[in-house]
Structure 1
Amino acid sequence: MTTTTDLRGSVPGEGSRTGPGGRAMLALILLGQFMAVLDVNIVNVALPTLRTDLDASGAGLQLVVAGYTIAYAVLLITGARLGALVGHRRMFHLGLAVFTAASLACGLAPSVWTLVLFRFVQGAGAALLTPQVMSMIQRDFTGAARARALGLYTAIVAGGVVVGQVAGGVLVSADVFGAGWRTVFLVNAPIGVLLLLAGPRVLPPDGRAGRVSLDVPGLLTLTPAVLLFVVPLILGHELGWPVWGWASLAAGAGFLAAFVAVERRVTARGGRPLLSAGALRAPRMVPACVAILAGPGSWGTFLFTTTLHLQGDLGMSPLESGLAFVPCVIAFGLVGLTWQRTPARWHRRLIPAGFAVAAAGYLWVGPLAGGGVAYEALTAVIGLGLGVMSIIMTAALEHVPAGDAADASGLLLTMMQLANVIGVATIGTLFLSMAEGSGSTRHAEYGTGWALAAVALAGAAAGLLLARRPRAGAQ
């Protein structure tokens, strides 16, 4: 006899945090997550005024944008392990405090290089903060409550990227108190302070930590591996893909091999590796990681290239180009918040179907690149397809042991950041090259659409593995 696994949980609501206390906790941690995601892109539309105000070079501007992402991606898995080591609530508060202080420092920065420094610190704070959000959802919510929380979480993670562009345009255009670009950073300070004051009253106390240790050898090999991989991908196109970039990628591969060897040795000696085997061996974790690479990778690249097109050939302002993505965000959030109401047997099948819809939408990016209502409707179709990200994350975490939740959350978040970097560095470079060669961003949209469709189809293939019927006896 076959069974159907309901991703909402086999015992909906049992043991979950519900009522005002649970809702207040979820609102607080998701707002912290939202600020961290928002700051990935919120600075983009402020770059022209920032360049003028601080007399910044192109490399300096690139590092203002990239510094945050670099620190964020490099330290996410370490942040997850530190949460398990000292307590998720404590680490959430520490990360939030670092993020808030660094945001204030960014807003008051007297030069571009001090701003770059504080952006790295801000990214480090976000890396300490964000893994605790998923870990606390995994720890304190079960059944239908967990599924709803994960749906909101995924909508925040993906939607925050677009909202960052819109919010940046609004804040810079408003020019509150003549602060100009500084408002995109200063806005975080009062919100962060309020969350820090509310946290001790809303977040449940950490229990006694188990026997968790920080894998220092793993940290010392994984950190340079990610850093050497991410930096050339972010800066490569801007600097013309110099030789040092390729050497950095090769060195990154060497450190990654060393990391694998170190982790095997730690496991063989009975230690706790930085990335636990339990998290990697959890059913569907590997295909879920592939799908996550395809989802945010194509999504982030679509936002990047389409924003350039809207502000290029179509001549939109930063605010107008940000608002053009509103239908996409609404459609994405609609799927993320309502998929649990569909029959249980549909849940995993929605994943490959969603990627197929997104792939079909990407194919029309070029033909409809003239703008107008049809183009905005197209963004809604793509958002509708990629709204299955919350289902992917729920499926990935469904069978992860509670003790491995921190490692799994750090892995998934790192995959999301790397997916954005890889997508923009590869397909984004294709777009820029085609635009420069033809003198038209509309022409570049054709090639970009085909490439994004191919990535979405790879996600659909991974989704088919996630949709496979569970083996007999599986939960």
Structure 2
Amino acid sequence: MAALDVFIVNVAAPTIGSELHATGADLQLVIAGYTISYSVLMITGARLGDRLGHGRVHLAGVALFTAASLACGLAQGATELIVFRLVQGAGAASAIPQVLSLIQRTFTGEARARALGAYSAVLAVGAAAGQIAGGVLVSADLFGTGWRPVFLVNVPVGVLLLVLGRRVLPLGGAGGKGRSRALDLPGLVLLGASVSMLTVPLVLGQQEDWPVWSWLSLAGAALLFGLFCGYESRLARRGGAPLIAPRVLRHPGMGLAVFRILAVMSVNAGFLFALTLHVQGGLGYSALRAGLGFAPTAAVFGAVSVTWRRWPAGLRRVLTPAGFALTAVSVAVVGVAFHTGGDGGAVLYAGYAGVGAGLALAFSPTLTGALATVRPEDAADASGLLATVAQLGQLIGVASFGTLFLNRLESLGVVRSYSSAEAFWVCAWALAATAAAGAVSGLVLRRR
């Protein structure tokens, strides 16, 4: 449900924009606002579960997420919707890290790897299926509610999860050293401020014609992130509990996993956001047609995520670089298919399927490999770190590639479908280059 909510709004964005008179920047903030609070608060959410009990914090997060979903569905303006999306992200940040932590504390060895594989598959399918669900719900226009069911659908699901969760989840504390660790509130403030100062100018700068404050904000983001890194290092040397524990970062393969997850999620979110704006805004597709167009991506994404562990062991070492390479080629194919301004034809669906397979291969083996060998006492920090990186990747993808698309669209103007196709063409090549860099740089980092 939390993964789906990152993407379900993509297809609903044009309808939200028309009904609430929202600008392109407003729509980016509706999508990115959820991810901002989700990503920034993720590690703190994991730490709270370590102190107060993973089951208890998970249910509290689900309750907050459900209440915020109801508020989003009833919002009467773009500003309200952006605020409630921030709250919704905070609920997800409390609930989701507990899932990974419970898996790591409950299973060991091959059983843990299988559980993490199942988790990756659910996450992947939820992300891809969000586009389809958004199209179906918006086009259905249930009782004349338009885009609102994309949020309201979470309410009955959330209530059901709360009822079942109280029966099946352990509600006590985690025990051990993790329970006594203090929360790193200064680190949280520094990280949150740096992410916000990076995101806001990326989202609003294009609409405001890149004023001086946007560049100052970007410089301030770099400065605050440097202060965050310095503070975390000093806190660790003093024996404190930094937001990101150095021993987790030093875990074999963790640095490479962080890089790969950041890259793949940036490409994933940027591709889906730009593609949605093109097919609905440029080609005039209905929300249902746009959503169903992503079915090949969702189906292949889910199938590969579930089955890759059954493939020959000799192939597993190259799956992630091959996934990045396949993603780069497939995104380029989609860009070429739309370049003439038409509907892309049959080759378009081959491109969609290739994107789904490539993203699954780049993401699922990386996440499973990074967490399969982490010690139980580091479960919360490792879970929070990788979940945070995944959300930051999506945030960067929407903000950067979304801004690239909108900026190119505005500069071209005149003929709508042609301009949109040209804007997506430029965006597709930028996405393909990012995926290619993920493949090449991943190999270099592994040799080092």
Fold-level match, TM-score > 0.5?
yes
Q: Equivalent residue for 2:162?
A: 196
Distance 2:185 2:197 in 1: 18
Distance 1:72 1:340 in 2: 29
Of 397-406 and 347-356, deviating more is 397-406
Q: Does the 8 Å CA contact 2:201/2:214 hold for their aligned counterparts?
A: yes
Q: CA deviation at 1:83?
A: 1.6
Aligned residue-pair number: 435
Q: Match for 1:386 among 329, 336, 359?
A: 359
Helix, strand or coil for the counterpart of 1:42?
A: helix
Alignment of 1:50-199 (within 5 A): 50-51=16-17, 53-54=19-20, 56=22, 60-199=26-165
Q: CA deviation at 1:347?
A: 1.6
Q: Match for 2:393 among 408, 419, 439?
A: 419
Whether 1:208 and 2:181 are equivalent positions in the alignment is no
Q: Does the 8 Å CA contact 1:348/1:466 hold for their aligned counterparts?
A: no
Query: What CA deviation, in whole Å up to 9, does each residue of 1:123-179 have, x standing for no partner?
Result: 111111111122222222233433333233223334333322222222222222333
Q: Equivalent residue for 2:286?
A: 317
Q: CA deviation at 1:309?
A: 2.5
Q: Equivalent residue for 1:12?
A: none
Helix, strand or coil for the counterpart of 2:148?
A: helix
Distance 1:119 1:305 in 2: 20
In the alignment, structure 1 segments of 5+ residues that lack a partner are 1-34, 470-475
Aligned AA for 1:107? Answer: G
Q: Does the 8 Å CA contact 1:38/1:163 hold for their aligned counterparts?
A: yes
Q: Equivalent residue for 1:457?
A: 436
Q: Does the 8 Å CA contact 1:155/1:336 hold for their aligned counterparts?
A: yes
Aligned AA for 1:162? Answer: A
Distance 2:299 2:76 in 1: 38
Q: Match for 2:216 among 238, 244, 247?
A: 247
* CA spacing shift, 1:86–1:284, aligned 2, 3 Å: same
Q: Does the 8 Å CA contact 2:14/2:277 hold for their aligned counterparts?
A: no
Q: Equivalent residue for 2:188?
A: 219
* CA spacing shift, 1:444–1:230, aligned 2, 3 Å: closer
Q: Equivalent residue for 2:325?
A: 356
Distance 1:106 1:431 in 2: 26
Q: Equivalent residue for 2:298?
A: 329
Helix, strand or coil for the counterpart of 1:271?
A: coil
Helix, strand or coil for the counterpart of 1:78?
A: helix
What RMSD over aligned residues (CA atoms) do the two structures have, in Å? 2.4
Q: Does the 8 Å CA contact 1:234/1:421 hold for their aligned counterparts?
A: no
Of 227-236 and 331-340, deviating more is 227-236
Please state which structure has a larger fraction of its residues in helix. 2
* CA spacing shift, 1:338–1:463, aligned 2, 3 Å: farther
Aligned AA for 1:177? Answer: F
* CA spacing shift, 1:399–1:462, aligned 2, 3 Å: farther
* CA spacing shift, 1:234–1:139, aligned 2, 3 Å: farther
Q: CA deviation at 1:63?
A: 3.6
Q: Does the 8 Å CA contact 2:11/2:276 hold for their aligned counterparts?
A: no
Q: Does the 8 Å CA contact 2:327/2:355 hold for their aligned counterparts?
A: yes
Distance 1:236 1:362 in 2: 26
Distance 1:80 1:372 in 2: 45
Q: CA deviation at 1:280?
A: 0.2
Q: Output the TM-score relative to the length of structure 2.
A: 0.89
Of 382-391 and 140-149, deviating more is 140-149
* CA spacing shift, 1:70–1:148, aligned 2, 3 Å: same
Of 209-218 and 269-278, deviating more is 209-218
Alignment of 1:41-52 (within 5 A): 41-51=7-17
Distance 2:408 2:195 in 1: 29
Q: CA deviation at 1:276?
A: 0.4
* CA spacing shift, 1:463–1:142, aligned 2, 3 Å: farther
Q: Does the 8 Å CA contact 1:131/1:409 hold for their aligned counterparts?
A: yes
Helix, strand or coil for the counterpart of 1:241?
A: coil
Query: What CA deviation, in whole Å up to 9, does each residue of 1:82-126 have, x standing for no partner?
Result: 121212111101100111111122223344433332222111111
Q: Equivalent residue for 1:429?
A: 403
Distance 1:50 1:102 in 2: 17
Aligned AA for 1:301? Answer: G
Aligned AA for 2:84? Answer: F
Helix, strand or coil for the counterpart of 2:147?
A: helix
Query: What CA deviation, in whole Å up to 9, does each residue of 1:270-320 have, x standing for no partner?
Result: 112111011100111111111112211112111122222322444321211
Q: CA deviation at 1:54?
A: 4.6
Q: CA deviation at 1:49?
A: 4.5
Distance 1:53 1:458 in 2: 39
* CA spacing shift, 1:226–1:52, aligned 2, 3 Å: closer
Q: Does the 8 Å CA contact 1:232/1:246 hold for their aligned counterparts?
A: yes
Q: Output the TM-score relative to the length of structure 1.
A: 0.84
Q: Match for 2:334 among 365, 380, 383?
A: 365
Aligned AA for 2:384? Answer: G
Give percent identity, aligned residues only: 54
Q: CA deviation at 1:53?
A: 4.8
Q: Does the 8 Å CA contact 1:289/1:415 hold for their aligned counterparts?
A: yes
Q: Does the 8 Å CA contact 2:109/2:372 hold for their aligned counterparts?
A: no
Distance 2:37 2:353 in 1: 32
Helix, strand or coil for the counterpart of 1:414?
A: helix
Distance 1:468 1:56 in 2: 48
Q: Does the 8 Å CA contact 1:76/1:413 hold for their aligned counterparts?
A: yes
Aligned AA for 1:373? Answer: A
* CA spacing shift, 1:54–1:304, aligned 2, 3 Å: closer
Aligned AA for 1:380? Answer: A
Q: Match for 1:275 among 244, 267, 290?
A: 244
Q: CA deviation at 1:253?
A: 1.5
Q: Equivalent residue for 2:347?
A: 374
Helix, strand or coil for the counterpart of 1:181?
A: coil
In the alignment, structure 2 segments of 5+ residues that lack a partner are none
Q: Does the 8 Å CA contact 1:233/1:421 hold for their aligned counterparts?
A: no
Distance 1:205 1:153 in 2: 21
Aligned AA for 2:438? Answer: G
Q: Does the 8 Å CA contact 2:262/2:389 hold for their aligned counterparts?
A: yes
Of 275-284 and 381-390, deviating more is 381-390
Q: CA deviation at 1:59?
A: 5.4
* CA spacing shift, 1:465–1:341, aligned 2, 3 Å: farther
Q: Does the 8 Å CA contact 2:9/2:31 hold for their aligned counterparts?
A: yes
* CA spacing shift, 1:47–1:464, aligned 2, 3 Å: closer
Of 53-62 and 430-439, deviating more is 53-62
Aligned AA for 1:286? Answer: G
